[in-house]
Structure 1
């Protein structure tokens, strides 16, 4: 592949240097590299690596459908110009994949649920490229494509973002006089309306499920469907609502991109990598008023540049299972070697022509590049802080666990940790993935097992007049003996539950610091005598990747670019650093600072910990002073003072 740097244009793109030429060259490189792994008729693209959890037949279909997205965006944005012959190449695959007599035929929608996902990508590209592909297919192939997609009609889909796959497929079928059910579309739209939350966010279903799917699925498909169904009164009336939600969501989303382009490392399906750029292109294609086109492109180009500069794709032009380079543990049970190519959604900007404002506007800086910021995001329950000096964005989490209050499941490291950032990865493999350590507050039982917090109650989410952020949550500590052989989809698991004491955490956030206040209150509705006896309290800080294990037990650590520390207050008389090998995609070791009590925690006593993550040495931590039983005042290193009031009633 030619170096992408030769296309740099710092006049047009002063922050990333990236232009449409960069995006086009990268898409072409991935598409041409994928051809090496295609079957004879191009119906299946089977990338190297062990089969995924759904088997090689699904893997081959994923490889076709997901690269087809990039090909479709590429040709649509060129108005049909196709020097690589992409449409002809994929037309051969369509013909063979939908032929039930072909040895390379695709898994059907009524044979495996994953085919329902891939069918939506196929239908979407057929819509976007209709004059140059669908209209040129012979009648027999068109009939077979319709027959292949038809099992979507009247079928059951999981009540999450998958409902959009049914709607997109049936809308395409309707446009080509194929079978469809208006009721499927109407029922699906009503269900999806119930996913809408504050400030334009969507939950991925009924649970507190917030992650990248909020942008690359739940914001993407509403606008695409309303475009596919243009002229239908139902679509035309919904489109302004979808657009308003998207604009409000994007004003939060641009705050979640680091100066170096890293998106937030949180939530499942991280191996889709720069699919996280999709939402910004949707804003551009849909004509959002804010953010403007220069900022939208800055966010999207920053994300894709981040990955290309960190080994994705690899030297063979392949997107492996991983984050930067290959790292197999990042996969969920449904992930196969073709799965990472849903990153192709990130090429959606290429569906826009070169003279579109998103390509011609001068890049604008990200929020984290213009100054420090403090933002509350109510839907996922996040306190977001960005610091200009290091370009890092941090999230303190008091609202997301991919569950519901009181469920008492295991904690998923992807959802239930107290903090996520653009510079750190949660511990995703090894013993500390299943037994919380990083960014956690836990009670240790007699065997030293840490408790879980999934099922917590959100108590507070606030921004003080000074800009300081305050959040709080409460949960009953619990231990879970998992009793399921079910597939790992990246979130917590049920099992036999043993309950412990209640834990309440108040987070006070300013800049790179969080003051974390922890206590074990009486059970709601119960008295102190009915409470299970507490064990030792342990509080974990930010996990930092490193080339080697920690040397010593000082709970202030650095890998040279990121500094993580915990500064313990009274009663937390133990501290240290745990080194976890091969536990995240960012490095061979992950170092986690922590502090703990040496004896059982005292009920109704506030414990104080200052938790830091930044690109510079932390300096002096914030301090807290108490007035009366529970009135607290925090003094920050910059001299700001915040009165928290009676936090026991947070």
Structure 2
């Protein structure tokens, strides 16, 4: 009988590997994993999407911020919540409707998000969002645009003409400001790339500057420097690889960039996905280092997107990615430590830990965790969900199983 690994919460600090392995050798199917992912993503996204659909987001969303917060909170946090939530939801919402319980939930979520999107750019709505002042909207408009790029038929095309026109105007209004000289360049580039994708006038300078600087800031072995100096954090996954790859895809489709540039960006993201998969410990945890660790599962966006694109390296099987990410999700979301009593995310990494929030982190920022759920865009009959459970690299390495030797790459 084949050994099947159960992904479960390991609660004892310092639990021995023999005990950990024993807990993992129980039957859990990929369909059970998927049901858990759906339940968890819905738990995260529902307060944002449902309240925005009912024009009560500003009324009901808590305004928590770190002790050194330095932005204009009410001008930025609501767009953060929307953009980051929908960028993670987009691949799942792009799946066709069906009569399953998941399908009905997905249809409701999509319907409410479309209603909320119209409210978010309606100047007469109490939930009208700010694109016109502050620098932070440059960031979160890009996540809105990224969702439209990821799911155009589900999230962009169904919008009415007035709402589409309003989004276009809001995106173009961002050109009056600049942001940080680092990964922020991709935010402007991606928003302009979306405008190009729908055949609107776009700013080619912003697009090409962002791409050229990323090329210049590549330091090797899949790592980009975040600006002139390298930062050891998860921004290569939060932002750089996924946005660069998807921006180049738009440009290739519009014959504004070479296929070789796109292929190289994908190749580098694939390599980066190897690092992320190896960062998952045998117990289903990962290192809490660098800026913005309050973004939780967003740290794995590049791994999730690589799997979604079916570009995983041959030695990294879809099932081991599913099982590794599921283990992390159980550790983060089985309990209530990351939610308040009304279901909103709280400041922290795995619990209420406001002291680790950055000067730009507020309640809306936290919804970047949705980006770790991109693989729900694979249908339930995809091998990512149907293959038998498999141990991820960290678990294999610490339990004496064969593991592929890792070494740097030169591209």
TM-score range, shorter chain: 0.7 to 0.9
Match runs of 1:384-533 below 5 Å: 388=399
Match status 1:337 vs 2:363: yes
Check conservation: 1:276, 1:303, Cα contact below 8 A. no
- Gap change, CA 1:96 and 1:188, over 3 Å in 2: same
For residue 309 of structure 1, report the CA deviation from its aligned partner. 3.4
Check conservation: 2:89, 2:374, Cα contact below 8 A. no
Check conservation: 1:98, 1:144, Cα contact below 8 A. yes
Match status 1:277 vs 2:303: no
Match runs of 1:13-32 below 5 Å: 19-32=33-46
For residue 354 of structure 1, report the CA deviation from its aligned partner. 2.0
Check conservation: 1:215, 1:278, Cα contact below 8 A. yes
Match status 1:242 vs 2:268: no
For residue 42 of structure 1, report the CA deviation from its aligned partner. 5.5
Q: Secondary structure at the match of 2:221?
A: helix
Which residue is equivalent to 2:17?
A: none
For residue 50 of structure 1, report the CA deviation from its aligned partner. 3.6
Match runs of 1:198-347 below 5 Å: 198-233=220-255, 234=257, 236-290=259-313, 291-309=316-334, 311-314=337-340, 316-347=342-373
Which residue is equivalent to 2:157?
A: 135
The partner residue of 2:397 within 371, 377, 384 is 371
Structure 1 Cα separation of the partners of residues 368 and 39 of structure 2: 18
Q: Which runs of 5+ in 2 are unaligned?
A: 1-6, 9-23, 401-405, 407-411
For residue 289 of structure 1, report the CA deviation from its aligned partner. 4.3
Structure 2 Cα separation of the partners of residues 297 and 76 of structure 1: 20
Structure 1 Cα separation of the partners of residues 88 and 271 of structure 2: 27
For residue 251 of structure 1, report the CA deviation from its aligned partner. 2.4
Structure 1 Cα separation of the partners of residues 258 and 122 of structure 2: 33
Structure 1 Cα separation of the partners of residues 51 and 392 of structure 2: 38
- Gap change, CA 1:79 and 1:128, over 3 Å in 2: farther
Match runs of 1:24-43 below 5 Å: 24-34=38-48, 38=52, 40-41=54-55
- After superposition, the CA RMSD in angstroms is 3.0
- Gap change, CA 1:88 and 1:160, over 3 Å in 2: same
Structure 2 Cα separation of the partners of residues 225 and 57 of structure 1: 27
Structure 2 Cα separation of the partners of residues 46 and 170 of structure 1: 32
Structure showing greater radius of gyration is: 1
Match status 1:168 vs 2:190: yes
Match status 1:157 vs 2:179: yes
Q: Secondary structure at the match of 1:107?
A: coil
Which residue is equivalent to 2:199?
A: 177
More strand by share: 1
Check conservation: 1:150, 1:179, Cα contact below 8 A. no
Q: Secondary structure at the match of 1:158?
A: coil
TM-score of the aligned structures, taking structure 2 as reference length:
0.80
Structure 2 Cα separation of the partners of residues 133 and 174 of structure 1: 17
* Bigger relative contact order (CA 8 A; separation at least 6): 2
Which residue is equivalent to 2:82?
A: 64
Structure 2 Cα separation of the partners of residues 222 and 255 of structure 1: 23
Q: Secondary structure at the match of 2:268?
A: helix
- Gap change, CA 1:173 and 1:314, over 3 Å in 2: same
Structure 1 Cα separation of the partners of residues 180 and 170 of structure 2: 20
- Gap change, CA 1:97 and 1:235, over 3 Å in 2: farther
For residue 358 of structure 1, report the CA deviation from its aligned partner. 2.2
For residue 77 of structure 1, report the CA deviation from its aligned partner. 3.5
Structure 1 Cα separation of the partners of residues 312 and 49 of structure 2: 39
Match status 1:116 vs 2:138: yes
Check conservation: 1:46, 1:337, Cα contact below 8 A. no
Deviates most, 89-98 or 345-354? 89-98
The partner residue of 1:99 within 118, 122, 142 is 122
For residue 119 of structure 1, report the CA deviation from its aligned partner. 0.5
Structure 1 Cα separation of the partners of residues 365 and 120 of structure 2: 18
> Per-residue displacement from partner, 1:50-76 (whole Å, max 9, x unpaired)?
456431232222222222234323311
Which residue is equivalent to 1:601?
A: none
Structure 1 Cα separation of the partners of residues 75 and 173 of structure 2: 18
Q: Which runs of 5+ in 1 are unaligned?
A: 373-387, 390-466, 468-650
Match runs of 1:568-579 below 5 Å: none
- Gap change, CA 1:154 and 1:232, over 3 Å in 2: farther
Structure 2 Cα separation of the partners of residues 82 and 196 of structure 1: 43
- Gap change, CA 1:226 and 1:30, over 3 Å in 2: same
More helix by share: 2
Match status 1:54 vs 2:95: no
Structure 2 Cα separation of the partners of residues 296 and 48 of structure 1: 34
Q: Secondary structure at the match of 1:197?
A: strand
- Gap change, CA 1:40 and 1:252, over 3 Å in 2: closer
Structure 2 Cα separation of the partners of residues 306 and 157 of structure 1: 35
Q: Secondary structure at the match of 1:287?
A: coil
For residue 298 of structure 1, report the CA deviation from its aligned partner. 2.6
For residue 242 of structure 1, report the CA deviation from its aligned partner. 1.3
